[in-house]
Amino acid sequence: MRSIIEQYAKDLTSGRLTFSFDHLSRVYFYAKKFAENYDDHILHAACFLYKIILGSNSKEDSAARAEQILSETGFNIEKIQKVVVAIMNSDIDDKPESLEARMLHDAIIADSLGAIGFSRFSVGSFFWERSQQMSDVYDYYKEYVEKAESSFSLTSAAKFCEKRLQFSKEILNNFNDEMEEE
């Protein structure tokens, strides 16, 4: 079943830079570091299907598509609902409740920090926010980093991301210094 879920994710994210299959793989990799005694079927499905549809309703659309995919593959009905709830609570402002949802939530933040996170935001800001200037990219990432600092739902994730968070702040400081040179 895992290979089927991952193949759907590969097919549905093909050609993307920011919400690519690589991103989904990193989210799953990080999430597994944040806790023990979780349901890996739920976590795996949530991580690989949380952003398979982009657009203004990406959470809702991805959750609906995940539900369809998991139903077609014979995934346990109760677990499907837990995957859907995790996806619906995956944004930085959300307050997920289940362990797997909290792990997904925090792993998304982890992959949005550091060098890879900054790269994803730099590219993404032009698509998501229609940024027109470098200062827009700076503002967008700065807002995210500031929010991330207090948005972790698991202490273990916050600890894991300390260096990434610090590096993101250094990136922002350097970015700001370079913009002021112009």
Q: What is the pLDDT of residue 126?
A: 77
pTM here? 0.94
Taken in order 54, 56, 60, 65, the sign of the CA dihedral is negative
- pLDDT bracket for residue 46 (50, 70, 90): very high
Tens digits of per-residue pLDDT, 23-38? 999 999 999 999 999 9
Structure tokens at 152: 């972790």
Tens digits of per-residue pLDDT, 59-69? 999 999 999 99
Mean per-residue pLDDT over the chain, rounded: 93
Tens digits of per-residue pLDDT, 113-129? 999 999 988 888 877 67
Ranges in the chain annotated CATH 1.10.472: 2-93
CATH of domain 2-93: 1.10.472
Give one DSSP letter per residue of 19-77, joined into a string: T-HHHHHHHHHHHTTS-SS--HHHHHHHHHHTTSS-STTHHHHHHHHHHHHHHHTT--H
